[in-house]
């Protein structure tokens, strides 16, 4: 017991002093690893609250470059709070819905779902289904539009160690968060 306790305390001190250096090295390594591909729609929020929204052009170890409203913006990682990848495309969802609606209208017309014989009614029947599909696609695109955080500046691995002592045993309790 007398030998184990000093060893446990020495190990706890050594690892607690070593963690900040490895955490900062890990954070520096993560700077070049923004989880978004070139051309992705992103939103960059700086530490002072400014926001830039545009397409990702380049990511380096020192900065991120995006096109915001036709102009190229470079933001150093030292100023970035977080980067979000924007997802969802209302136009694409609307076009998919339109295509599905057109297909349903044509199938409905071919299987006798549209009972009138006049050609104008057939076009109206297909048009109603196409409009319904486009509306449903647009609504789906709006509802699914969102963002996903791909880089956060304050995200660092943390190792916490605490000695555990009892009458008959000594040990070390640790947690690692990333």
Unique residue bearing structure tokens 């020192």: 62
Residue 23 confidence (pLDDT) above 60:
no
Residues 6+ apart with CB under 8 A from 63: 74, 75, 76, 77
First to last CA, the chain: 33
> Does residue 150 sit in the same domain as residue 128?
no
C-alpha to C-alpha distance for 87 and 15, rounded to whole angstroms:
41
Of 50-59, 71-80, 120-129, least confident by mean pLDDT is 120-129
Name every residue whose Cβ is closer than 8 Å to that of residue 160 and which is 6 or more positions away in sequence: 174, 175, 176, 177
Output the domain CATH number for residue 12. Answer: 2.30.30.100
Co-location of 108 and 169 in the same domain: no
Most trustworthy range by pLDDT among 9-18, 67-76, 136-145, 147-156: 67-76
Evaluate if residue 84 carries a pLDDT over 50: yes
Same domain assignment for residues 65 and 128: no
Give the chain's mean pLDDT: 76
Are 78 and 32 contained in the same domain? yes
DSSP structure class, residue 168: S
Instruction: Report d(CA 76, CA 58) in Å as an integer.
Output: 12
Are residues 43 and 18 located together in one domain of the fold? yes
| pLDDT score, position 140 | 83
Tokens of 119: 């050609």
Residues 76 and 101 in one domain: no
pLDDT at 118 over 80: no
d(CA 106, CA 36): 40
- Cβ(80)–Cβ(64) below 8 Å: yes
- Reduced to 3 DSSP states, what percent helix, strand and coil does the chain have, rounded to the nearest 5? 45, 35, 25
At residue 120 the predicted structure's pLDDT band, cuts being 50, 70 and 90, is low
- Work out the angle between the directed axes of helices 90-110 and 119-144 (0-180°, nearest 10): 150
Instruction: Inform me whether the pLDDT recorded for 13 exceeds 60.
Output: no
Helices (H) and strands (E) in the chain, counts: 3, 8
Task: Give the tokens for residue 134.
Answer: 């486009």
pTM greater than the 0.85 cutoff:
no
Burial of 155 per CB tally in 10 Å (0-12, 13-18, 19+): middle
Q: Provide the domain limits for residue 124.
A: 90-144
**Cα separation values, 5 from 9, 11, 12, 16, 35, Å:** 6, 10, 11, 17, 44
Tell whether 102 and 117 lie within a shared domain: yes
Higher pLDDT, 146 or 81: 81
Number of domains in the chain: 2
């Amino acid at each position: 017991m007398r030998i184990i306790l000093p060893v446990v305390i020495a190990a706890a001190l050594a690892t607690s002093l070593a963690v900040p250096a490895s955490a900062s090295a890990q954070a520096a390594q993560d700077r070049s690893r923004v989880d978004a591909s070139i051309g992705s729609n992103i939103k960059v929020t700086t530490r002072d609250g400014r926001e830039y929204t545009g397409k990702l052009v380049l990511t380096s170890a020192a900065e991120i470059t995006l096109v915001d409203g036709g102009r190229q913006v470079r933001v150093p990682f030292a100023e970035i709070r977080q980067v979000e990848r924007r997802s969802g495309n209302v136009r694409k969802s609307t076009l998919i819905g339109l295509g599905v609606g057109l297909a349903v209208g044509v199938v409905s017309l071919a299987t006798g779902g549209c009972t009138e014989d006049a050609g104008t009614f057939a076009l109206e029947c297909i048009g109603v289904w196409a409009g319904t599909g486009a509306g449903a696609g647009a609504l789906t695109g709006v509802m699914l539009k969102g963002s996903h955080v791909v880089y956060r500046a304050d995200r660092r691995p943390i190792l916490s160690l605490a000695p555990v002592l009892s009458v008959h045993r000594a040990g070390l309790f640790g947690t690692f968060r990333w």
